[in-house]
Amino acid sequence: MTKTTWTILLAVAGYTAAAASAAPLACLIEPDKVAEVGAPGIGIIDKVPVERGDYVKAGQVVAYLKADIERASVNVASARALAEADLKASIASHDLAQAKALRARNLANVGFISKEAVDQVEAEARIAENRVMQAQESQRVSRHELALSSSQLAQRSIRSPFAGIVIDRYRTEGERVEREPIVRIAKVDPLRVEVVLPLSQFGQIEPGAPVSIKTDITGDRNLIAKVVLIDKVIDAASNTFRVRLALPNPDRSIPAGLRCLADFGGTQKPPTAEKAAAVAPPVDRREGIIKASRMGRLSYELKNPPKTQ
């Protein structure tokens, strides 16, 4: 007589194998982020040096507003901040007043002048010292005014918040803007891929797992994206959840807006023995041993198998 082994393919194991070989899911490739870039205030557009389709770097100027007044304000504030004549004059007056106070105290010690005269000279010395402090404070204020004027001038240059592609240009030279967008910029490296998965796959996808992406323009060539976000809230109406993928696009050869197919084969986690056993078909309840393979296939081996005739 020989030992008899019954091999049981449990429901969850079957689901996992089916998910790995199932048809790819429909997905959509989108820009990672899109920004409507505009002016922070009212102004007249002086120049727009970019066109639709241009690649711009982070911080690159995409539009200039007329800034004659702001530029003149910077020049005036700069001249005030660099002016040192008042400060030097107050320092000289202070030095002279201190010397007079010292001589007055020496003369008072030998009785040549009265104490009232000494008090007057010392008061003049303190006034001269306060004038020095006033000149220094004035110079600090002038530096702050220069920083303010420089910031106002910088706001007349509209810059891109991130590296990307100009996908729309709304305004041109000479137009008046009042916080309206001037250009629209999309970040295309990396690209964002949104996929909707059924509830049955919740918990089977891990962050960082690679996913194969196919599009019409790439033909048979597979693109590899990575899972970066898994929704923790299920859509009750459709019984689905969303997964976000990041698709590297350093050469910007993949355009955004493409429909695609996402293949999650091999990215699901294998089912646990508890979860597999929960949905297992009825089996012989005699005492035995359950063994699980890497592919999710479980073997149930009876310790006391029935004897065959």
Spatial separation of the C-alpha atoms in residues 208 and 131, rounded to whole Å? 66
Spatial separation of the C-alpha atoms in residues 292 and 299, rounded to whole Å? 6
* Per-residue CA distances from 12 to 15, 24, 119, 207, 276 (Å): 5, 20, 100, 21, 5
Per-residue pLDDT tens digits for 125-141: 899 899 899 888 998 99
Predicted local distance difference test score (pLDDT) of residue 301: 53
Predicted local distance difference test score (pLDDT) of residue 7: 37
Predicted local distance difference test score (pLDDT) of residue 266: 57
**How close are the terminal C-alpha atoms of the chain, in Å?**
8
Predicted local distance difference test score (pLDDT) of residue 237: 92
Residues (pLDDT < 70) of the chain are: 1-22, 266-309
Sequence-ordered alpha helix ranges (H) in 155-208: none
CB burial of 20-32 (b: ≥16 within 10 Å; e: otherwise) equals: beeebbebebbbb
Predicted local distance difference test score (pLDDT) of residue 73: 92
What is the number of other CB atoms lying within 10 angstroms of the CB of residue 107? 15
**Site of tokens 């803007």:** 177
272 CB-side CA count, 13 A: 4
What is the number of other CB atoms lying within 10 angstroms of the CB of residue 66? 15
What burial class does residue 225 get, using C-beta atoms within 10 Å of its C-beta: 0-12 exposed, 13-18 middle, 19+ buried? buried
pTM of the model: 0.65
Q: State the DSSP code for 200.
A: G
Predicted local distance difference test score (pLDDT) of residue 276: 46
**Site of tokens 């007349």:** 156
